[in-house]
C-alpha cells in the first residue's frame, strides 16, 4: 500500500503515501467536474499517512475539539515529555506529566486508557490491516475517547483505506457545501449523494475538499 516513505519528526517513524493515489486522481477527474477542476490546483501534493497506530490515535485524541494551533502545541509538549512515544512511556509519564502538556483531564484519561489498551494487547492492532473498515471502527470505538470520527481518521491516515467518507467531519461537509452547493447548507443525505460518484476513492476526494478550504495549512486531523 505504499508508494514511498520518509522519516517523520516523531521518533523516526515513517510517513507513508497511499499506492492508490495517482489512480484515484485520474478516476475522480474523469467522473466529477468539480474534482476535475480542483485536483490539478494541488499538483503533486497528496495525503501523508502515519505507520504507527498508537501515535495516530493519540494524536487524533489531542486534536479533538481544539484549534489546530492549540493541538499542535500540546502535541509537541507531549512528544517532549515522551520522546519515544510508546504506550509504556506514556503510562510511565502518568496523568500529572501529561496534564502539564496542556491536555485536559479528560484527554489525559483517554490517552492513558489508549496506552493501557495497547500495552495490555486489548486491541488487535496487528490484525487491523486484514479487517474491513466497519470491523476496525467497531473495535476502536470501544476505547474511551475514540469516536466514530476518530476511527475514520485512523482508517484514512494509518490504514490508508481508500473509500472512507467521514460524514461527522465538519470540514468535509463545509468542503462539499463550498464546492458543490455554492455555500448553501448541506445535509448528510446531500453529502452521501455527491460522494456516491467518488467510490471507491472517497478518501481521496475528501482530502482534496479539505485542501480546498485551506490550501496552505495541512488538512490532516492527525498531521
Q: The domain containing residue 100 runs over which residues?
A: 53-157
Same domain flag for 57 and 147:
yes
Query: End of a domain among 112, 135, 157?
Result: 157
Sequence-ordered strand ranges (E) for the chain:
2-7, 14-18, 49-50
Residues 82 and 110 in one domain: yes
Confidence at residue 214, expressed as pLDDT on a 0 to 100 scale: 80
Rounded to an integer, what distance in angstroms lies between the CA atom of residue 77 and that of residue 66? 15
Please report, for residues 86, 120, 190, the alpha-carbon distance to residue 115 in angstroms, rounded to integers and kept in the order given. Answer: 8, 8, 38
pTM, 2 dp:
0.85
CATH number of domain containing 22:
1.10.1670.40
pLDDT of residue 15: 65
- 69 and 112 in a single domain? The answer is yes
**Cis before 200 (ω within 30):** yes
Regarding whether 120 and 138 lie in a shared domain, the answer is: yes
* Collapsed DSSP state (helix, strand, coil) of residue 13: coil
Neighbour count for residue 132 (Cβ, 10 Å):
9
Residues 144 and 180 in one domain: no
Q: Which of 114, 140, 157 is the last residue of a domain?
A: 157
Strand ranges of the sheet holding 49-50, from the earlier edge strand across to the other edge: 2-7, 14-18, 49-50
Domain membership of residue 174 (yes or no) is yes
Q: Of 118, 135, 157, which residue constitutes the final position of a domain? A: 157
Separation of alpha carbons 154 and 36, rounded Å: 27
- Grouped pLDDT means (10 residues each) for the chain, 223 residues: 43 70 98 97 90 92 86 94 94 94 94 96 94 97 94 95 96 97 96 98 97 69 49
The structural domain count of the chain equals 2
pLDDT reported for residue 68: 81
How far apart CA 172 and CA 176 sit, in angstroms, is 6
Q: How many CB atoms lie within 10 A of CB 95?
A: 13
**Domain of 91: which CATH number?**
1.10.340.30
Amino acid at each position: 500500500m505504499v508508494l514511498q516513505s520518509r522519516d517523520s519528526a516523531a521518533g523516526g517513524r515513517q510517513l507513508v503515501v497511499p499506492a492508490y493515489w495517482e489512480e484515484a486522481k485520474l478516476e475522480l477527474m474523469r467522473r466529477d467536474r468539480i474534482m476535475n477542476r480542483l485536483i490539478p490546483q494541488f499538483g503533486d501534493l497528496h495525503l501523508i499517512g502515519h505507520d504507527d497506530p498508537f501515535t495516530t490515535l493519540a494524536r487524533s485524541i489531542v486534536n479533538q475539539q481544539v484549534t489546530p494551533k492549540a493541538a499542535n502545541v500540546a502535541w509537541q509538549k507531549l512528544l517532549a515529555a515522551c520522546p519515544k512515544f510508546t504506550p509504556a512511556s506514556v503510562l510511565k509519564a502518568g496523568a500529572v506529566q501529561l496534564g502539564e502538556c496542556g491536555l485536559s483531564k479528560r484527554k489525559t484519561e483517554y490517552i492513558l486508557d489508549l496506552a493501557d489498551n495497547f500495552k495490555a494487547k486489548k486491541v488487535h492492532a496487528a490484525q487491523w490491516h486484514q479487517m474491513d473498515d466497519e470491523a476496525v471502527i467497531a473495535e476502536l470505538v470501544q476505547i474511551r475517547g475514540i469516536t466514530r470520527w476518530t476511527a475514520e481518521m485512523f482508517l484514512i491516515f494509518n490504514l490508508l483505506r481508500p473509500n472512507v467518507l467521514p460524514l461527522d467531519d465538519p470540514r468535509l461537509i463545509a468542503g462539499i457545501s463550498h464546492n458543490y452547493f455554492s455555500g448553501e447548507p448541506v445535509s448528510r443525505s446531500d453529502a452521501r449523494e455527491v460522494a456516491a460518484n467518488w467510490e471507491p476513492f472517497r478518501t481521496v476526494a475528501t482530502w482534496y475538499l479539505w485542501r480546498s478550504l485551506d490550501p496552505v495549512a495541512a488538512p490532516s486531523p492527525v498531521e
